Amino acid sequence: MRAYHRQDYYLAVTTFLLVIFGLIMVASASVVQSYEVAGTNNFYLFRQGGFAIVGLILWWILQKVDYHVWKRFATIALVVGLILLGAVLVPGLGVEAGGARRWIGLGDMGTLQASEIMKFALIVYLAYWFEKKGRRVADFYSTFLPFIMIVGVVALLVIQEPDFGTAVLIALIAGTMYMAAGATWGQLGTLFTAGAALITFLVYSAPYRVRRILIFLNPGADPLGAGYHVNQALLAIGSGGLFGLGYGHSRQKFNFLPEAASDSIFAIIGEELGLIGAVFFVLLPFAIIVWRGLEIARRAPDMFGRIMALGLTVWIGYQALINIGATIGLFPLTGMPLPFVSLGGSSLVIMLMACGVLLNISKQTVKTSKDENPLSGWWDWWSHLVNSGSRRRSSK
């Protein structure tokens, strides 16, 4: 019989407040786009609110479902994810927008972004797979090569959409999970070298990716062409200054900044609420979510829970980091939503489902000796996470 206790309320409350904040910012950032599409300022707000309700219901359900149930559906989830990624590329099923085919049409219900489901499915499958491998998790032939094949197939399907940023994100999530599961330093070095070489090849194989890299290195080189998006985002953030122009007073959302309510919403937040608002309402909540998620992973009762909690946490953290970093010019521009905040039903619902699973793991966490020293260093934390997994594998 499993020992249950209260869920992690830091994680639950922070996530809920971030969703509410996202709806507030979508209400402001989408007014122009809403009026152009439906003749009303609140069209996208109401639609996003509907997705938020669905996501929160699933969140509430999944935080009550024992996370071990996902072991039964791990392989099915991976297969379904692969089928959906393949369906995106089929004419008539996939919906094209902005030169990319990343969505499956659902008629009046809108669209479904297959890669969002794939991220969740892959995390569940890898957690199940690594636990099943046990002491063979570091074996070259039985684990390392199949791992490369699984992640490679998923990433290549995503690249075909094309969605290079999401493919990189998937590789980062999978690599972090493998590292925690017990990969050797040699395997990690091989993964890093091969990944860097593949990324370089893929960048130079597509002229538009080369242009993005050049614009990233010099945003002012083509301000009205390839550099338009990033320059408008930087202009929005710079206009906000320390305290912002005030909620609802963004100028860039009036068709100057592309994707103002979705991929670029952090720029609107910076413009309207300023640096202080962006730190307090965005950066701090994500820091709390990552902190609590890593604590849940550290104290999970078994390897499956540990690796899955880690995967779900770094998914949220990496995606937020990439979105914010691209918006402020630290990374090349990508079409990746800001978790829980950006306009987009698929991302919001799937992210809330992931949070529900993470909360269920938190209900079954166990106290460890590290809990007596919450200020222990990162290396101590990571050593505990990896070594405890190794000890469990050795005892099997």
pLDDT of residue 238: 93
Q: Which residues contact 77 (CB under 8 A, 6 or more apart)?
A: 70, 120, 121, 124, 125
pLDDT of residue 1: 45
pLDDT of residue 166: 92
Q: How far apart are CA 178 and CA 144, in angstroms?
A: 9
Specify whether the CB–CB gap between 230 and 215 falls below 8 A. yes
Q: Which residues contact 317 (CB under 8 A, 6 or more apart)?
A: 286, 289, 290, 293
pLDDT of residue 396: 46
Q: Could you give the 3-state DSSP secondary structure of residue 91? A: strand
pLDDT of residue 382: 54
Identity of the amino acid at 221 = A
Specify whether the CB–CB gap between 2 and 69 falls below 8 A. no
Tokens representing 298 are: 């550290």
Tell me: the pLDDT tens digits for 334-389? 888 999 999 988 999 999 999 999 999 999 998 765 554 443 444 454 555 555 54
Q: How far apart are CA 275 and CA 249, in angstroms?
A: 15
Q: How far apart are CA 324 and CA 268, in angstroms?
A: 12
Q: At what angle do helices 303-327 and 284-298 cross, to 10 degrees?
A: 160
Tell me: the pLDDT tens digits for 86-111? 888 887 777 777 667 777 877 666 77
Question: CA separation (Å) from 294 to 66, 188, 236, 362?
Answer: 19, 21, 33, 10
pLDDT of residue 284: 97
Which residues on adjacent β-strands are paired with residue 101?
96
Tell me: the pLDDT tens digits for 23-82? 999 999 999 999 998 888 899 999 999 999 999 999 999 999 999 999 999 999 999 999
Q: Of residues 325 and 90, which shows the higher confidence score?
A: 325
Nearest to 306 by CA among 244, 229, 381: 381
DSSP letter for 268, please. Answer: H
Nearest to 143 by CA among 158, 156, 130, 160: 130
pLDDT of residue 109: 67
Q: How far apart are CA 95 and CA 33, in angstroms?
A: 20
pLDDT of residue 217: 76
- Entry field: residues in the chain: 396
State whether the Cα torsion 323-328-331-335 is positive or negative. positive
DSSP strand E in the chain: where?
94-97, 100-105, 111-113
Q: How far apart are CA 22 and CA 19, in angstroms?
A: 5
DSSP letter for 254, please. Answer: T
Q: How far apart are CA 157 and CA 261, in angstroms?
A: 27
Tell me: the pLDDT tens digits for 228-247? 888 899 999 999 999 999 99
pLDDT of residue 24: 97
Tokens representing 109 are: 């219900």
Dihedral-angle region of residue 99 (phi above 0 means left; psi in -120 to 50 means alpha; beta otherwise)? left
Nearest to 75 by CA among 156, 132, 152: 132
Tell me: the pLDDT tens digits for 258-312? 999 999 999 999 999 999 999 999 999 999 999 999 999 999 999 999 999 999 9
How large is the average pLDDT for residues 125-152?
91
pLDDT of residue 125: 97
Q: How far apart are CA 171 and CA 301, in angstroms?
A: 26
Q: How far apart are CA 320 and CA 78, in angstroms?
A: 24
Q: Of residues 226 and 129, which shows the higher confidence score?
A: 129
Q: How many CB atoms lie within 10 A of CB 219?
A: 19
Model's pTM, two decimal places? 0.90
Q: Could you give the 3-state DSSP secondary structure of residue 195? A: helix
